[in-house]
Amino acid sequence: MPKVLPIAQLGESILRERASEVRFVDQSIVHDTKIQELIDDMIFTCNKVDGVGISAPQVFQPLRIFVMASRPSARYPYAPVMEPTAMINPLLITWSDVTPKGWEGCLSIPGIRGQVPRSKEIVAGYLDRHGQWHQKEFDGFLAKIFLHELDHLDGIVFLDRTDSRDLVVESEFQKLVAAGKT
């Protein structure tokens, strides 16, 4: 039975460390019970806390794994729907030079939102939870999720990529959402 995992908060050292590659000689490590349970727990946690993505370092596991699980919620009312997807050893293959600012928040930095410039379109590669390699294009909000979570694997948080003048507290962000200004 999946469980909600504790989420590391800004200031905890694991959020500033580069996560380790999931290493394996064959596909067996991907099918390892601990890896599969971690992925199940990450998906469950992400859903329970209204996240659209979560990385292994955010749940105190220093591994290059994250989950993208976009769907509309109170935190992201305009998020597109996608099937929760685990990404193991993800790579950024190509990215656009077009980098519009967009609002981001983080489960590890509750109560703050910021305007972060991110590539509008990317091509990413990753192993899925079954050990199969995928190369996929993401754009807009989904590209933003991928890049945000990839940053976590490198010890970077969204605050590192924004100007302090582009930060708001959650209650002010919700006013912007209500006014249609997001």
- For residue 64, tell me if it sits in a domain: yes
Q: What is the extent of the structural domain holding 155?
A: 13-178
- For residue 155, tell me if it sits in a domain: yes
Relative to beta strand 112-117, strand 167-169 is: antiparallel
CATH code for position 50: 3.90.45.10
- For residue 1, tell me if it sits in a domain: no
pLDDT digits (tens, 9 = 90+) for 58-95: 999 999 999 999 999 888 888 999 999 999 999 999 99
- Residues contacting residue 98 through CB under 8 Å, at least 6 positions apart: 119, 120, 121
Residue 26 has pLDDT above 80, yes or no: no
- For residue 160, tell me if it sits in a domain: yes
Name the residue type at position 49.
V
Catalytic choice (21, 104, 149, 172): 149
- For residue 128, tell me if it sits in a domain: yes
What sign for the dihedral angle of Cα 146, 165, 160, 48? negative
Domains identified in the chain, total number: 1
What sign for the dihedral angle of Cα 13, 55, 21, 123? negative
- The angle formed by the CA atoms of residues 89, 71 and 36, to the nearest 5 degrees, is 35
Kind and range of the H or E run holding 114: strand 112-117
pLDDT digits (tens, 9 = 90+) for 126-158: 999 988 999 999 999 999 999 999 999 999 999
> Is residue 149 among the annotated active site residues?
yes
- pLDDT given for residue 30 in this prediction: 64
- For residue 84, tell me if it sits in a domain: yes
| Cβ 165 vs Cβ 101: under 8 Å | no
